[in-house]
Amino acid sequence: MLVAGLARAYTNRGLKVRPFKPQNMSNNAAVTIDGGEIGRAQALQARACFCPPTTDMNPVLLKPESETGAQIVVQGKRKATLKAREYSKIKASLMPPILESFSRLKDQADLVIVEGAGSPAEINLRPNDLANMGFAQAADVPVILLGDIDRGGVIAQIVGTSVVLEMLDRNKIKGFVINKFRGDPSLFDDGLKEITNRTGWASFGVLPWFSDAWRLPAEDVMDISTRKGGRFKIAVPRLGRIANFDDLDPLVAEPDVTVEIIEPGQPLPGDADLIFIPGSKSTIADLADFKTQGWDVDLKAHVRRGGHVIGICGGYQMLGKTISDPLGLEGVAGTYQGLDLLDVETVMSPEKHLTHTSAIHLDSNEIVEGYEIHIGETTGEDCQNAWLSIDGKSAGAASKSGRVSGCYLHGLFSSDGFRANFLDAIHKIESGLNYEASIDDTLDALARHLETHLDLDAILKIAS
> Which residues are catalytically annotated?
313, 410
CB 215 within 8 A of CB 438: yes
β-bridge pairing 274-277 and 308-312: parallel
In sequence order, the β-bridge partners of residue 373 are 354
Burial label for 438, CB within 10 Å (0-12, 13-18, 19+), is middle
Of the candidates 219, 227, 224, 191, which has an alpha carbon nearest to the alpha carbon of residue 117? 219
- Rounded to a whole number of angstroms, the distance between the first and last alpha carbons of the chain is 22
Buried b (16+ CB within 10 A) or exposed e, 123-149: eebbeebbbbbbbbebbebbbbbbbeb
CB 285 within 8 A of CB 331: yes
Q: What is the largest CA-CA distance in the chain?
A: 71
**Nearest CA among 149, 146, 150 for reference residue 161:** 146
Taking phi first (over 0 means left), then psi (-120 to 50 degrees means alpha), and beta for anything else, what does residue 83 get? beta
Please provide the DSSP assignment of 98-118 as one string: HHHHHHHHHHH-SEEEE---S
CA angle 407, 408, 410 (to 5 degrees): 105
The whole-angstrom separation of Cα 283 and Cα 185 is 46
- How many CB atoms neighbour CB 154 within 10 A? 21
Give the Cα separation of 280 and 275 in Å (integer).
15
Bridge partners (DSSP) of residue 461 are none
Residues 6+ apart with CB under 8 A from 261: 224, 225, 226, 236, 238
Residue 237, classed as helix, strand or coil, is strand
